[in-house]
Amino acid sequence: MTSPTPARARISVVGAGPGGLTCARILQRHGLDVTVYDRAPEADSRNQGGSLDLHEDDGQIALREAGLLEEFFALARPESQEMRQLDSSGRLLGHHVPAEGETAAPEIDRGQLTGLLLRSLTPGTVRWGQALTAVGGPAEGPRTLTFADGTSVETDLVIGADGAFSRVRAAVSPAAPVHTGVHFLEAWFDDLDTRHPELSELVGKGNAHAADGERCLFAQRNSGGHMRVYLIRRTPADWLARAGLRPEDTEGIRAHLLRDYDGWSPELLRLITDNDGPYVDRPILALPVPHTWEHSPTVALLGDAAHLMPPLGVGVNLAMLDACELALALSRCATVDDAVRDYEKTMLPRSTETARMLDGGAESLLEAPSPEDLARFGGDRN
């Protein structure tokens, strides 16, 4: 089969996260038809996750191409670029306060970013409640997308923006995510300034990080008076079962954590004991490095589907940059096949370089700060 021109191609994006929606938005800005499929029953039916910092050299580039940068800055929180580095006694070691007008990496809630992108799309672009089960059809196309409800569609290009456990990735690669040995447990805090004023003062307007080499607490302001805290430890993926605990056993998990963080200051331990609601277990996974695959003229991957890495501030930014570059390639190339090749020539080397740099990097979250870290944060405040 001859690869079609992008203008006549049936283009399908699987996954309505920031990467998939960015790709769809830029495609539509260039007059290309696209349909997005997502397993969620509707836009607001799932927890969107915490706050994201979008960088000038990737995420913000994508938003500029999407024509949404101005609206992003209207929603973003530049003050959240504040960062505090603490030790396990609660002593402030380093403190970065953003300069007036600093826009290098302002924060925005994931839900706000997703909403901004969704509102920018042509109504009906996203088909909710479409859980992909398989990608079929010959490599040269057309491809068949089969969904859990028994329906199927034909497409000339399927773009996998469906995250760590991508169903689209299976069409071109056997790779699967593996546990990094580091685990996050997420805790939520609501109405922070009123209900938790001491913690509000501790964390400040942005993020606060404390680590002792074995354990870490990372607190992150969200909008609307909310905060998420990530309790980061080196532990096996099945640590809950090994400890005889269930995800809903909040009190049992809390007691386990207090033993793990024994010796930390009472002030910091309130980030473990005072949360509103249950904990959320988040194992940290990554794809093999490097992750490459044989080119297919009908399948493209972006974001975590292509290069799942430890959560060190690059994931969504890279996904959005991938999405931008793929959409622009489709807007300028003669065929879909040419566009995918053009995109992969840039994306694969970049993702391989970044993945190598971050390989094992989840361990760095547990490390006590070095003198270089303290200098970056603004110096020792002993």
Alpha-carbon 333 to chain mean position: 29
Residues 39 and 156 in one domain: yes
Task: List, in sequence order, every residue forming a beta bridge with 146; answer none if it has no partner.
Answer: 134, 152
Does pLDDT of 375 surpass 70?
no
CA distances 266 to 35, 79, 102, 274, Å, are 51, 27, 34, 11
SS3 54: coil
DSSP letters, 341-366, are HHHHHHHHHHHHHHHHHHTTGGGGGG
**Mind listing the pLDDT tens digit for each residue in 146-159?**
999 999 999 999 99
**Mind listing the pLDDT tens digit for each residue in 330-343?**
999 999 999 999 99
Question: Is there a domain that residue 108 lies in?
Answer: yes
Q: Which residues are annotated as a binding site?
A: 46, 53, 110, 304
Residues 39 and 129 in one domain: yes
Q: Which residues are annotated as a binding site for FAD?
A: 53, 110, 304
pLDDT on residue 370: 67
Residues 64 and 189 in one domain: no
SS3 18: helix
Average of per-residue pLDDT across 304-326: 94
Residues 354 and 253 in one domain: no
CA distances 240 to 66, 116, 257, Å, are 42, 37, 11
pLDDT grade for 183, boundaries at 50, 70 and 90: very high
pLDDT on residue 371: 65
**Domain edge (last residue) among 243, 261, 286:** 286
- In a 13 Å sphere around the CA of 359, the CA atoms on its Cβ side amount to 11
Question: Is there a domain that residue 52 lies in?
Answer: yes
Average of per-residue pLDDT across 341-353: 97
pLDDT grade for 361, boundaries at 50, 70 and 90: confident
DSSP state of 106: -
Residues 114 and 161 in one domain: yes
What gap in Å lies between CA 160 and CA 162, rounded to an integer? 5
Residues 217 and 320 in one domain: no
With 0.85 as the threshold, say if the pTM is over it: yes
| Residue 198, domain extent | 178-286
Residues 12 and 111 in one domain: yes
**Mind listing the pLDDT tens digit for each residue in 82-117?**
999 999 999 999 999 999 889 999 999 999 999 999
pLDDT on residue 362: 84
pLDDT on residue 380: 39
What gap in Å lies between CA 60 and CA 113, rounded to an integer? 12
Which residue, 65, 50, 46, is CA-closest to 109? 50
Residues 239 and 134 in one domain: no
Average pLDDT, the chain: 94
Question: Is there a domain that residue 70 lies in?
Answer: yes
What gap in Å lies between CA 234 and CA 232, rounded to an integer? 7
What gap in Å lies between CA 210 and CA 85, rounded to an integer? 6
Does pLDDT of 377 surpass 70?
no
What gap in Å lies between CA 330 and CA 168, rounded to an integer? 19
CB contact at 8 A, 228 and 282: no
**Mind listing the pLDDT tens digit for each residue in 237-255?**
999 999 999 999 999 999 9
Residues 333 and 186 in one domain: no
pLDDT on residue 80: 92
CATH of the domain at 189: 3.30.9.30
Question: Is there a domain that residue 322 lies in?
Answer: yes
How many domains does the structure of the chain reveal? 2
**Which percentage of the chain shows pLDDT scores above 90?**
89
CA distances 361 to 282, 289, 356, 364, Å, are 16, 13, 9, 5
**Mind listing the pLDDT tens digit for each residue in 27-51?**
999 999 999 999 999 988 776 678 8
Residues 62 and 196 in one domain: no
Does pLDDT of 379 surpass 50?
no
**Mind listing the pLDDT tens digit for each residue in 195-230?**
999 999 999 999 999 999 999 999 999 999 999 999
CB contact at 8 A, 30 and 331: yes
What's the order of all strands across the beta sheet hosting 157-160?
Answer: 126-127, 35-37, 11-14, 157-160, 299-301
CATH of the domain at 154: 3.50.50.60
pLDDT on residue 364: 86
Question: In this structure, what token pair is assigned to residue 116?
Answer: 């901004």
Residues 260 and 219 in one domain: yes
Q: Which residues are annotated as a binding site for NADPH?
A: 46
CB contact at 8 A, 110 and 51: yes
What gap in Å lies between CA 153 and CA 217, rounded to an integer? 45
pLDDT on residue 154: 98
What gap in Å lies between CA 157 and CA 343, rounded to an integer? 13
